[in-house]
Amino acid sequence: MRKIIMALIVTFFLLVAFEPVITQAGAEDFKCKITNYLTKVEYIPVGDAKGHIVGVYERRGLVMFENGEVATLLSRGTFDWTAGNGPVEFYTIMTFKDGSTTWTKNDCTGTRAPGEKLTYIKFTGKYVKGTGRFKGIKGSVSCEGKYVTPYSKETKGDLCLECTGTKTVPSK
């Protein structure tokens, strides 16, 4: 009887110790396309060079995943650009049909070749939060694409991006 009790105690401690490993789902690779546009932007000139501005922005759009799922996108960040070139730091919140959300923190570089009117965007990000079916999400994303239209009263800086990533969500 004593051996059975000891075996049960050891089994219990092993299950507790390795439960996070056992319940972790496998990493899932994904691809998606994002279309979005500026809904708010505020910027001021720095004054040290022609076209050097710093500012904050908000973008809204849609995320279309390769598996057919669609999410809305809200992105908010800061930028430090000179003539369309420079760093951007931002957060992206994706909201899915069932109300689940994912949050990523992203670092971006905008580049505009001499003579070009539209900026090329490339960024990487890490998941920092998930709700609903994405609670506990881990992983990363990388995207790149080019503005389709410049920012103006009419066009709002439309942007199309191609993205790939990996995500892991704990099993329930």
Residue 2 backbone phi and psi in degrees, to 5: -65, -40
Q: Mind giving me the DSSP string for 130-161?
A: E-GGGTT-EEEEEEEEEESS-SSTTT---EEE
Q: What pLDDT, in 10s, does the model give residues 91-115?
A: 999 999 999 999 999 999 999 999 9
Average pLDDT score over residue span 141-166: 95
Domain that holds residue 147: 25-168
Instruction: Please give the Cα distance from 10 to 16 (Å, whole number).
Output: 10
Q: What pLDDT, in 10s, does the model give residues 23-35?
A: 445 899 999 999 9
1, part of any domain: no
10, part of any domain: no
135, part of any domain: yes
Max CA separation in the chain (angstroms): 84
Q: Which of 172, 162, 166, 130 is nearest to 64 (CA)?
A: 162
Residue 62 tokens, joined: 């849609």
Q: What pLDDT, in 10s, does the model give residues 2-57?
A: 554 444 344 444 343 444 443 445 899 999 999 999 999 999 999 999 999 999 99
6, part of any domain: no
- Residue 81 sits in a domain whose CATH number is 2.40.350.10
pLDDT band per the 50, 70, 90 thresholds, residue 62: very high
pLDDT for 141: 98
pLDDT band per the 50, 70, 90 thresholds, residue 59: very high
Q: How many domains does the chain have?
A: 1
pLDDT for 171: 87
pLDDT band per the 50, 70, 90 thresholds, residue 153: confident
* pTM recorded for the entire structure: 0.82
Instruction: Please give the Cα distance from 60 to 95 (Å, whole number).
Output: 11
CA 1 from centroid of its chain's CA atoms: 55
**Is residue 6 packed enough to be buried (19+ CB in 10 Å), middle (13-18) or exposed (0-12)?**
exposed
